[in-house]
Structure 1
Amino acid sequence: MARLHIRTGVNPDEPDEPVVTLRVDPEGSPGERAVARLGDHCYEGDGVLFLSQTDGWAEHALDGCLLTVDIAVRPSALGHTGADLRAFPGRSAVDPEAVLVLRAETEADPELYARAAPATAVFTAPPDHELDAGVHWPMLLAPPPEE
């Protein structure tokens, strides 16, 4: 099961800045597997992987203390992961052509969330595996594109 958190210390350039982080299991649900395989189609930065915003993004919604993050991916990018598009009937509220591949929820402090970076950091690792920021490069997902 994907795990969602808001934590500091993720961005070495801004260690006090909260970041919405999502941990996906590469052997988990179809959505987790699809998100994990998106990392193969990213471009590398300084210790991070960037998914082009034209390929996919993270949509955030905060309702009281419940933070919901939806990962939306364009069908062409999702097809490159080998995922079966029929397994993902949901569509993005921002762009109905984009497929919703994963939803994660967590209780979140609204004040902490208000200070969070706009990008979502996705780490891929089995649930029993300890993450090491120096070894596990996060995939950064931008917010949805603006029309």
Structure 2
Amino acid sequence: MTARLYVRSGLSPDAPDAAFAVLVVAPDGTPGERAMAGLGAHCYEGDGALYLVRTDGWAEHSFDAGSLVVRVAVPTVVLRQMDVDPEDFPERSAVDPDAVIVLTARTAADADLSTRPTEATAVFTAAPDVPLDDLLTSEDEWPVLLAPPPQT
């Protein structure tokens, strides 16, 4: 199993044309998916979503050969608080060397998407057979929202 990555607009009533990266991770998937699912306990609730503060993790976006690449970075201290060994994740964040990349996902993306402002990344935890549209319309499934990387 690997995380599924989508690009969707229409998720924000305030900015219906804004494109969002949407990750779907399995709670019993890869070590990175399990770590991402565990970050939900570090979030605060608001407006039908769970928000992860940037000191606990963020999403790094890049574009490569017609693909959007999303990397989820988590500081090693946060992983240790979750009883996750940071040594299980050898890749380091390009933004903060004290953070590791716990998850990388990619999907095809339109070239003009790279010119749009970076938005939050929505992460849903669900079984691999649950369609994204079901998650987006469910009142019971709240996404974890990851901000872009902190400014260095």
Task: State the TM-score, normalizing by the size of structure 1.
Answer: 0.91
Q: 1: CA distance between counterparts of 2:109 and 2:75?
A: 28
Q: 2: CA distance between counterparts of 1:12 and 1:124?
A: 22
Give, in angstroms, the shift of residue 62 of structure 1: 0.5
What stretches of structure 2 of length at least 5 have no aligned partner? none
**Identity value in percent:** 54
After superposition, the Cα gap between the structure-2 partners of 1:134 and 1:12, relative to the gap in structure 1 and judged at 3 Å, is farther
Alignment of 1:1-147 (within 5 A): 1-115=2-116, 117-129=118-130, 130-131=134-135, 132-147=137-152
The answer as to whether partners of 2:118 and 2:148 remain within 8 angstroms in 1 is: no
What stretches of structure 1 of length at least 5 have no aligned partner? none
Give, in angstroms, the shift of residue 31 of structure 1: 0.2
Paired residues, number: 147
RMSD of aligned alpha carbons: 1.5
Which structure carries more helix by proportion?
2
Task: State the TM-score, normalizing by the size of structure 2.
Answer: 0.89
- Secondary structure of 1:68 counterpart: strand
Q: 2: CA distance between counterparts of 1:25 and 1:114?
A: 30
Q: 2: CA distance between counterparts of 1:113 and 1:120?
A: 15
